[in-house]
Copies of this chain bind each other. A is one copy, B any other.
Amino acid sequence: MAERVKALAAAQHAAIELVFHPQCFRSAGHFAGTDAERAAALIEIANDPSFDALWFGRGGYGSCRIAEDALSQLSPAARAKTYLGYSDAGVLLAGLYAKGFPAVVHGPMPADIARGGGEAAVARALSYLSNCAADAVEPTVASAGKVVAFNIMTFSQLIGTPLQPDLTGHVLMLEEVSEYMYRIDRSLFHITSNPAVRRVAGIRLGRCSAIPDNDPDFGQGEVDVVRHWCAKAGIAYLGRADIGHDADNKIVPFGGLATA
């Protein structure tokens, strides 16, 4: 995957030099290296001023295991850098945004190259990293003011921790993959019941894909579920967002375009 992404970058953006940290190719049980190895790699690249961006290689699971330690060891140089990823990497995006980092971005990762049509997703990320290409950005962001985007379960399991950012006045975009509808419903209960989340400007729903069949049928789709919980919480439901665990996943710069 790394070679394919490097070749694509070389063909489309000669000015971009992509470096895959050796940790990306490590393996330790469920993870790409031990917690210590993964935290050290993150800290090394984040604190190195010769890199313009830190691009998370893939999602899956494990960011939360290194978040508190890694975020506490970032230097001032780490703030002058773009951080791009989504899914499980949202744990770190949340923590970076909570710390006031100015260029935290939700969007495709190198591992998306393995999807059908995934070259388009990776090319979109590269275009954004190269020149903040406007057509790479989620279309409602331009008029949204402050905005963030998260995977539903990832965001749910940040609530009430020091990684939860203050989203007052933000449009909160949410997407999900491979979760039963009853679990999406439960996570939306959780998210919309948090008093701090209730201060968002509204919620936009990205794609919820690969939802396993509910037995019996849940009786409501993801839009019904989000509308239900927004109505109970007094949060505005603003419609759909063009994000998801797929090749069409668009870029969402946290904070909106003003800070991108």
* Residues of A near any B CB (own CB < 8 A): 27-30, 61, 64-65, 68, 156-164, 181-182, 185-187, 189-190, 193-196, 214, 216-220, 232
Q: A189 — nearest CB in chain B belongs to which residue? A: B64
Query: What B residues does A64 contact at CB under 8 A?
Result: 186, 189-190, 193
In Å, the complex CA distance between A232 and B39 comes to 15
| B161 touching A193, Cβ below 8 Å | yes
Cross-interface CB contact of A28 among B61, B68, B156, B219, cutoff 8 Å: B219
| A193 touching B65, Cβ below 8 Å | no
| B160 touching A65, Cβ below 8 Å | no
Query: What B residues does A164 contact at CB under 8 A?
Result: 160
Cross-interface CB contact of A68 among B68, B182, B232, cutoff 8 Å: B232
In Å, the complex CA distance between A151 and B63 comes to 23
**Contact flag A218-B159 (CB < 8 Å), given A68-B193, A189-B65:** no
**Contact flag A157-B156 (CB < 8 Å), given A30-B218, A216-B30:** yes
Q: Add 13 more A-B contacts to A29-B218, A157-B187 (CB < 8 A).
A: A27-B216, A29-B219, A29-B220, A30-B181, A30-B214, A30-B216, A61-B182, A64-B190, A64-B193, A158-B190, A160-B195, A160-B196, A162-B195
| B190 touching A161, Cβ below 8 Å | yes
In Å, the complex CA distance between A161 and B229 comes to 14
**Contact flag A29-B217 (CB < 8 Å), given A160-B194, A161-B194, A193-B162:** yes
Q: From residue A2, how far is it (CB to closest CB) to chain B in Å?
A: 19
Q: From residue A27, how far is it (CB to closest CB) to chain B in Å?
A: 8
Q: From residue A160, how far is it (CB to closest CB) to chain B in Å?
A: 3
In Å, the complex CA distance between A216 and B65 comes to 17
